[in-house]
Amino acid sequence: MDKIFLKRAIVVLMILSFFSLEGCEAFRKKFIRKKQVEEEAEEQVILEPQVYPDVVYDNPTLYKNYYTFCKAWYGDLLDSLNQEGNYKKQLQCFSEVIKNLSLMRDLLKTEKQQEISSYIEMISKNKEKLMTASLKDAILPQLKNDLSSIEKKIVAKFSYSKIKDNIK
């Protein structure tokens, strides 16, 4: 048994030495790093900034824009005045409506400026009511009704078709 075991051990050692000296090509390929192909560096495109001239709009166009913005923010304001409305969104809508009405006022002649100022004051008072109310959900329906009536009056009196003769 020792001779058979010795012969087998010699054969196994010869096979192992043969593989270790010769090496396995596939095994060697696994552990040899491939040379990295150098990628061509792309040229970076640098664009020079262009300065565009300020666009100057005439007063009727500005009035139409501010009126459109005011109507859009007013719609958002009325939509946000529900039970699930976001308080910050409501305040932002109030501020934007007041800002656009003020910009519209600056484009009007003096008699119409006084009239639109009264509506701005009414909207500001409603904003203050919302900010100082302890139970906000209780006053929302009243605020919504008040603001709806103010909006109807503004649309009836200050749409571009009715006020175009009073723009500076």
Interval 27-70: pLDDT, tens: 666 667 777 776 666 777 888 888 888 888 888 999 999 999 99
For 88-110, write each residue's pLDDT tens digit.
Answer: 998 999 999 999 999 999 999 88
Taking the model in full, what pTM does it have? 0.66
Question: How sure is the predictor about 24, in pLDDT bands with cuts at 50, 70 and 90?
Answer: low
pLDDT digits (tens, 9 = 90+) for 119-134: 999 999 999 988 887 7
Contacts 24+ apart (CB under 8 A), 107-111: 107/59, 107/62, 107/63, 107/66, 107/167, 107/168, 108/63, 108/163, 108/166, 108/167, 108/168, 109/166, 109/167, 109/168, 111/166
